[in-house]
Amino acid sequence: MQTPLPYLVIGADHAGFEYKEAIKKHLADLGYAITDMGTFDAVSVDYPDFAHPVADAIERGNAQMGILICGSANGVAMTANKHAGIRAAICWQLEIARLARTHNNANIICLPARFVALPYAIQMTEIFLNTPFEGGRHQLRVDKIACS
């Protein structure tokens, strides 16, 4: 029996808009269910306005994993990581995307649109979504992330 695909939520600011649209289409073609939290064009916007709804959806259990994209990925990662239970990881290499899942059980991938090519961003996203958490000694570390 095949494992069901995770329900995803995606968001981006103006710098990540083009990547968001391409990644969303690619993943939808693969059968993923995706909710788009915006932005819906390339007009300049504030990244927290899109990072908070993505993190909220995961925090509330309305989505299992998320994708956030901005110019550097720093802003969306910092914003998302303010939410309880969110582990947003900035990924710029394939191995970083894999390790974010296997070692950190990250639930949001943050992509720097101004620093990685779109095909590479798509590949990192696929790796992130298809890599399971190893648990074990890594679970002990992940359990120490949240502030009480």
Q: List residues bridging with 10 in a β-sheet.
A: 36, 67
**What Rg do the C-alpha atoms of the chain give, in angstroms?**
14
Omega before 3 within 30 of 0, i.e. cis: no
Q: What is the pLDDT of residue 103?
A: 97
Q: How many CB atoms lie within 10 A of CB 143?
A: 9
Domains parsed from the chain with CATH numbers: 8-142 (3.40.1400.10)
Give the model's confidence band at 2: pLDDT under 50 very low, under 70 low, under 90 confident, else very high. low
pLDDT tens for 22-45 read 999 999 999 999 999 999 999 999
Q: Which of 123, 122, 127, 128 is nearest to 19 (CA)?
A: 122
Over residues 135-143, mean pLDDT: 87
Q: What is the pLDDT of residue 108?
A: 98
Q: Which of 69, 70, 142 is nearest to 104 (CA)?
A: 142
Over residues 87-106, mean pLDDT: 98
Q: Please tell me the pTM assigned to this model.
A: 0.95
Over residues 44-70, mean pLDDT: 97
- Checking if the pLDDT of 61 tops 80, the result is yes
Active site residues: 70, 103
* Torsion angle of the four alpha carbons 90, 95, 99, 102, in this order, in degrees rounded to the nearest 10: 130
> Considering only 54-58, 95-99, 104-108, 144-148, which range has the smallest mean pLDDT?
144-148
